[in-house]
Structure 1
Amino acid sequence: MREKTQRALLTTVLILGAIVMFFPFLWTLSTSFSSGAGLDATPQLIPDQPSFSAYQTLFSELPFARIIVNSLGLAAATAVFQLITSSMAAYAFSRLPFRGRGAVFAVYLATMMIPIQVLIVPLFVQMRDLGLVDTYLGVLLPGVASAFGVFLLRQAMNGVPRELDEAATLDGAGHFRIFGTVVLPLVGPALATLAVFSFMNSWNGFLWPLIILRSAELKTLPLALAGLQGQYTTQWDVMMAGSVVSILPMLAIYLFAQRYVIQGVASSGIK
């Protein structure tokens, strides 16, 4: 009886927590379908007269389709580059013995404690000297490597039995073949986790694109949403429509990859 009571209490707490977490998204979606909604409008979770006018305004008065493509392209490219660089570095730290490996890895991880605000000026100077200001490549380059990604994948690769490497070596395989055909297939959940995290960070990135981009046609989604607040100060339905558009890709990716994310985090030992 006591166990059932505790389970019922825990279930109730989880349901209430889920409602609290879900309510802002429901409010955002509802406001986006409320034509002309503002701060002085009567709060309604279900609009009396649902309308797509906010979405029509969003795509007719702004190059929002181009903005979405910009963000998708940059986020996908960032995810691909981080998967490549992080997996190769993680294999080196996990499988290749060299002097000072632990110290180098510790120093590399220490870079995770440096806030991006500290690096903005030197990064901008580098991009300026390379002639990459106001270019997609200028936005992309600082994010092609990830210390967190290396740590995540190294932890996952450390869980792969070394006996598999030895068996592949006896068959004549080198490090590149072991890396591509033995280790990578066994850390698939960790790779999926890193892909989701890197895509999400690039998709939501605001400060660095704000510093490096100048042209309106190169803007990413967070910059466009920030611009909506100035252009449509009282048109909260338009702002919420933009927020809904920005949420949908991440929601779809998470629903598709949540199983792999949970497996990847669990196998890497991150709590």
Structure 2
Amino acid sequence: MTWTELTDGVYLRRHQELDLTTGLVAGAERCLVIDTRGDVDQGAELAASVRELTDRPWAVVYTHAHFDHSYGTTAFLPCDVWAHQRCLPELVEHGEAAKVKWAEHYREAGKPEIADALGRTGIMPPDRLVTTRQELDLGGRTAVLVHPGPAHTDHDLVVHVPDARIVFAGDVVEHGPEGFTADSFSGESDLLGWPRALEAILALEPRIVVPGHGDAVGPEFLRRHRAGLLRLNELKAAVEAGKTGPDEALAASPYPADVTRAALAAGAGLSRSSAHRNGCA
């Protein structure tokens, strides 16, 4: 868990748990913390690490509502908490159930300390809401919150730092061994809209894109996986039309079988209470 300074005052921080990547953008007067990790203890650790870099007043932004990105906020309060407008009902209506689910997951996985921390975690809904775009003046530097359209969720929010040409993309971009992982896709995801979301990020002309999980990437990574998503959409349409069988689709996919199966099921009208509700990655 170390900070990497991408350019003056713009940092990413890698976390071993879930290979999560958080961010910090510092201006002359204020700073913006991008995602707060997954529980009260993880959030406190992140807040303390931010204070090692800067004592400027902070605000927080959630790239989306999933627990690993938004449950660690208590240690940052009081402060503005920014998110897309659809993030608010997601956390209010489903946050507690997701907390219980993930606590059970960690206990079964032999990580009782994380399960216990989740039990002590208070979920903090956002109080500053974005519809499509919002500029934040940090003092000599602007951070722009942009909704790129539905992709990983229907409320994804990316953070553009124009003067540095850096975008923090949340889970619209993931940098796993094959780019996406199976956990990237769920009943909440919009496979059809996802390529357009990557186009929206590319239109910002970033030189660096920070994913929600994994190391920073360049625009070519986004172009490659935009093409991969378009191919997945073609295969999904062919399967649904009965022109291609599931096995043929798996063989023709640019991604491993588990990723392909998850992607082809994404946005297929699955129950909003699916196992991936408010999941990670």
Pairwise same-fold verdict (TM > 0.5)? no
Structure with the larger strand share: 2
Normalised TM-score (structure 1): 0.20
Report which of the two has the higher share of helix.
1
Q: Normalising to structure 2: TM-score of the pair?
A: 0.19
- Rg larger for: 1
Greater relative contact order structure (CA < 8 Å, 6+ sep): 1
